[in-house]
Chain A
């Protein structure tokens, strides 16, 4: 049995401990906002918060994180995620949308630690999130916009 707290809910899961967190979230818990893109931590589409820090769920066997707290995009709360999602919609960042849950999670993690990031800090924090539609121009802009919102 694997014990996890997912989006604030404690649970015990009877799954193969080698199963990547990504597939537990999707196949067992039906939290489908977290996406599969590569399976090898190259694209960031599967990003979740693990004990509050961003984590690629595709390379995270659940047996490795017993008793951890996981937050998916469905369970995110707080001013940063709200500002990011509002900025994303206002700038029409998404095109196909597949990678955007991961982008939003990474951007939120960045803004929680650096409220007003520079372009360089955005490059470094978002460098692990691929977008095949290349919405990068708007991702950058939306992060700056969200930072301004948070400044109040």
Chain B
């Protein structure tokens, strides 16, 4: 019972809150490259399945919001450019940085650019194995090589926003630096996917 619950938590992309993120060193004692690689990806999964990431990686409909991933209010659709509806784009409300509300706790998140991940990169409800396969597939990851993928995870500003999400939102676990190192180690160990 308990095991299957944990397994479900790890395997399906449901929101994962408040976990520590271990660096690659924690996995050094896994001798088998493929097993180590898969374990590294599972660790990356703590970030990938965090609400900060999942909210804008939906597989259907528009974004969700908040730590409980409720429906986005006002209602928002994906739109043709992954940028919301014509007449109400993401940037109708979201600016180039997080903005604290005036006279009210909380903030509205922002970054330049601010948009949904393409639908080919939708993760909500997917298993880590499926997400891993998506990430590696140039057909679905925006034509990225593994090296470019590393750069994206380690350097991209919108990815980095996950650790600096503004008042009222829990950051993704760890840091972008550790996430980049995990990605590096995962690639170097053969970019295996969890089963």
Interface of A toward B, CB cutoff 8 Å: 20, 23, 39-42, 44, 47, 53-56, 58-61, 64-65, 106-107, 109-110, 113-114, 121, 124-128
Interface contact A59-B74, CB-CB below 8 Å: no
Are A61 and B99 within 8 A (Cβ)? yes
Q: Is the CB of B85 within 8 A of A125?
A: yes
User: What string of 1s and 0s marks CB contacts (under 8 Å) between B84-97 and chain A?
Assistant: 01111101110111
A58 contacts B102, C-beta separation under 8 Å = yes
Chain A residues near B77 (CB, 8 Å)? 124
Indicate whether B66 reaches chain A with its CB closer than 8 angstroms: no
| Given A56-B93, A128-B93, A40 contacting B104 (CB threshold 8 A) | yes
A-B contact pairs, 10 of them (CB 8 A): A42-B74, A54-B92, A55-B92, A58-B102, A59-B93, A59-B95, A64-B96, A64-B99, A124-B77, A124-B79
Which of A20, A60, A65, A114 is the most central at the interface, judged by chain B CB atoms within 10 Å of its CB?
A: A60
Min Cβ gap B60→A in Å is: 16
Separation in Å of the B148 CB from the closest CB of chain A? 30
Q: Is the CB of B88 within 8 A of A59?
A: no
Given contacts A39-B101, A114-B87, A121-B86, 10 further A-B contacts (CB under 8 A): A40-B108, A47-B92, A55-B91, A109-B87, A121-B85, A124-B77, A124-B79, A124-B85, A125-B85, A128-B93
CB nearest to A56 among chain B residues: B93
In the bound assembly, the distance between CA atoms of A128 and B77 in angstroms comes to 12
Asked if residues B97 and A64 are in contact (CB atoms below 8 Å), the reply is yes
Q: Does B73 contact A (CB under 8 A)?
A: yes
Query: Contact: B88 with A54, CB < 8 Å?
Result: yes
Rounded to whole angstroms, the CA-CA distance of A59 and B96 in the bound complex is: 11
Which residues of B lie under 8 Å from residue A113 when comparing CB positions? 86-87
Contact A59 B87, beta carbon cutoff 8 Å: no
